[in-house]
Amino acid sequence: MKFSIQSRNDQVSNELAQRAKQYLCDFGLEFDDEEPEIVLSVGGDGTLLHAFHKYSHRLDETAFVGIHTGHLGFYADWKPSEIEKLVISIARHSYEVIEYPLLQVTINAENEAESTTYLALNESTIKSPGVTLVVDVELNGRLFERFRGDGLCMSTPSGSTAYSKSLGGAIIHPSLPAMQLTEMASINNRVFRTVGSPLVLPDHHRCVLTPVQGPDFMLTVDHLQLLHKGVRSIEYRVANEKVRFARFRPFPFWERVHDSFVSSDS
């Protein structure tokens, strides 16, 4: 089996990554940074986001597993003290692969022949640099509302515990094929109105944002910040591709939610 390791590049993470690499090589696995079958992310959830985007071109062949060297994360759920146990499980192939939905983001330029597509593991946000964002929100080809405010966030189910939650979005179980649109400080008064509530959209829906004023947008795709000029529309849909995680033991999602947001012991 071929493996690769993504480290947060602090001293603790680098030392743990080197140990994991040596252990796996001792078990006869091959280090391959170009075409790994399994990627170990050593750091936090942000480190796994970097690993995901590094290998987003080969999601059908690569599975991810996270080791946290800080706070327990939703993606990085293995402790440094468990590294030997994890390595043995990888060497024995004693794990199952689970798949979670992703978000496809397509930026259509004013030049109709040009478009750019991204995949997001957590979320994508859109803002208008320096001014109020004004966009028409279309759902399945029909105008739903004209949004005015700071911005909009479209998240995946697995990303619903991240930025979307801080905006008042719902927590969605990551096995559900859906996406969630949440508002950032929308303008609501006697003249301008938005729905004012997060929208959970199933995988057969499409959401298109069309600019009303200003074709330049600051777009984020997970940790990536991208300035797009001359934008005609932005389309969101649940991607055909899925992210694959190597699961070695039960992963109680709601227990993780409890430990992260409710328990005082987390």
What is the 3-state secondary structure of 12-59? Answer: HHHHHHHHHHHHHHHCCCEECCCCCCEEEEEECHHHHHHHHHHCHHHC
Residues 77 and 148 in one domain: no
Residues 6 and 52 in one domain: yes
The verdict on residue 163 lying in a domain is yes
The verdict on residue 167 lying in a domain is yes
**The domain containing residue 256 runs over which residues?**
2-95+248-261
Q: What is the C-alpha to C-alpha distance for residues 86 and 24, in angstroms, rounded to an integer?
A: 10
Q: What is the C-alpha to C-alpha distance for residues 5 and 17, in angstroms, rounded to an integer?
A: 7
Q: What are phi and psi of 13, to 5 degrees?
A: -65, -40
In tens, the pLDDT along 226-262 reads 998 889 999 999 999 999 999 998 878 999 899 889 9
Q: Count each helix (H run) and each strand (E run) in the chain, helices first.
A: 5, 16
Q: What is the C-alpha to C-alpha distance for residues 196 and 246, in angstroms, rounded to an integer?
A: 38
Pairing state between β 199-202 and 2-7? unpaired
In tens, the pLDDT along 1-22 reads 999 999 999 999 999 999 999 9
Residues 87 and 211 in one domain: no
HSE-up (13 A, CA, CB side) for residue 22: 6
Q: What is the mean pLDDT of residues 27-31?
A: 96
The CB density around residue 47, as the number of other CB atoms within 10 Å, is 27
Domains in the chain: how many in total? 2
Q: What is the mean pLDDT of residues 165-186?
A: 97
Residue 126's CATH number: 2.60.200.30
User: Which of 254, 232, 250, 231 shows the shortest CA–CA distance to 98?
Assistant: 250
pLDDT at res. 265: 64
The verdict on residue 230 lying in a domain is yes
Q: What is the C-alpha to C-alpha distance for residues 236 and 54, in angstroms, rounded to an integer?
A: 21
pLDDT at 266 over 50: no
Indicate the pTM of the whole model: 0.94
Which residues does the annotation mark as catalytic? 45
- The DSSP line for 107-157 is EEESSTT-EEEEEESSEEEEE-TTS-EEEEEEETTEEEEEEEEEEEEEE-S
Residues 193 and 137 in one domain: yes
Residues 6 and 115 in one domain: no
